[in-house]
Structure 1
Amino acid sequence: MSTASFSSLSADHQRLQALVGAWRGEEELAATQWTDAGSATAEVLAEAQ
């Protein structure tokens, strides 16, 4: 994203820029009637347009 287009964003949209980037999270899942307990990993790439 260029500096010129960033300045035209609303204050709310500018705050969302903090979420831009590559994110990875891990968590432990409880057992259910459908599956055993275990761990899960998620990866998200958030880009600004």
Structure 2
Amino acid sequence: MPTKKNKTVSLDTMIDRHIGKKGTAKRDKFEYNLNLELLGISIRKARNAQ
């Protein structure tokens, strides 16, 4: 049984394929929510460090 070789793809390419190219409404919403999540993580880390 022949095996299928996996093709390596960059994260940017995967995001473009599954969420959309930069500038689209879906991509903008994704990046906005991602930035909110990262900000929340940073705030939690800062609070725990005190």
TM-score normalised over the length of structure 1: 0.25
Larger relative contact order (CA 8 Å, sep ≥ 6) = 1
Greater percentage in helix: 2
User: Of Structure 1 and Structure 2, which has the larger fraction of its residues in strand?
Assistant: 1
User: What's the TM-score, normalizing by structure 2?
Assistant: 0.25
